[in-house]
Structure 1
Amino acid sequence: MKNVKDPVCGMIIKKSMAEAKYTYNGEIFYFCNKTCYEKIKKEPEKYLKRKEEKEAPIKQKQMSHSPTESVKLKIEGITCAACVATIERTLKKEKGVVKANVNLATEEATISYMPDVIQTEDLIKVVEISGYRVLKDKEDIPMKEAKVAKKRLTILLPYPSQYSDYFIPSLLKHLWHFPLSML
């Protein structure tokens, strides 16, 4: 059987083992799982255009021997090891990227690059072309945590005070750094 590449996550799969297939503009695409299929079904242009954008080179200067810089990017949407591999592989293909490591648990990419060859904005674009969202503002993360904490607090408030000694202290240790306006 012939191997094909999932257009969403980039995983190589056998046609016979594909979880789903989708026809777009007369071309058949195969998917490793239902999640990838659902993503392309909602926004086919986003993922199929990405292939064309990957082929178009990002503006880069001539490579030279220069010191490297390191940047950490907070990435949303990393759910599995295949996501990690896709992002790392895509970043490592770019000229000027010396090293790229993605941490599944923290959803962060640590990238060493040559600033005279590729810029941080280009790295962000590469990650987004891979199908993931880079959180640009540090407020995005605490806001998400605040919503979760508010939900937990709402659930715990109706319980009798006998449980408060157990639940409330652990909850408050996560809430102390959020302004009340965020809750």
Structure 2
Amino acid sequence: MLEDVYGMAVGMMFIVTGVVLLSAAGLVTGGIAGIALLVSYVAPLSVGTIFTLVNVPFFVFAYFVMGPRFAIKSTLASCGITLLLAVTRQALHIDFESPLFAAVVGGTLNGMGVLALARHGSGVGGTGALTLWLQRTRGINAGIVQVAIDSMILLTSLLVIPTGRVGWSALSAVAMSAMVIAWHRPGRYNVVVR
């Protein structure tokens, strides 16, 4: 139990640090974090608030298809990320950010956060639950679905951020996915479902 709490806290800290770096550089990324960053550039809401609001329907979905334990842990992680983002806004200020550094390091930290949460039976965003469900029930590769979702986020970001920033954002999504692909192997993590 204590190991799960600590592991989830570490995952949340990785994700928050990654999101802060990406936000400072005006970038987006894949998944729910990317959607939250993108919406935060046009809406008067914080990234953390948007992150949680976007996740709510996905967590209801996860409750029914992944089980209550996964959904509850994922909801707690999402709320934790929102709180940490609020605290980080007061505790950390970044004056200058290299888009290359933000894309690679921010995306990598997000990927490490996803892995830490997965290791402890949690998810970070609803797109992960959706991709896993489609793979399990329809046989559609979760990685392909995630790439399709991330591509839609990046294409939509062309309407909001400069084209060059979209290119760096694509690099952040690749860095995040690369971490998950490189380190997440079937059987390595025992995610309790149901």
Interval containing the TM-score (normalised by the shorter chain)? under 0.3
Higher strand share: 1
Relative to the length of structure 2, the TM-score reads 0.25
TM-score, scaled relative to structure 1: 0.26
Specify which structure has the higher proportion of helix. 2
Larger Rg: 1
Higher relative contact order (CA 8 A, sep 6+): 2
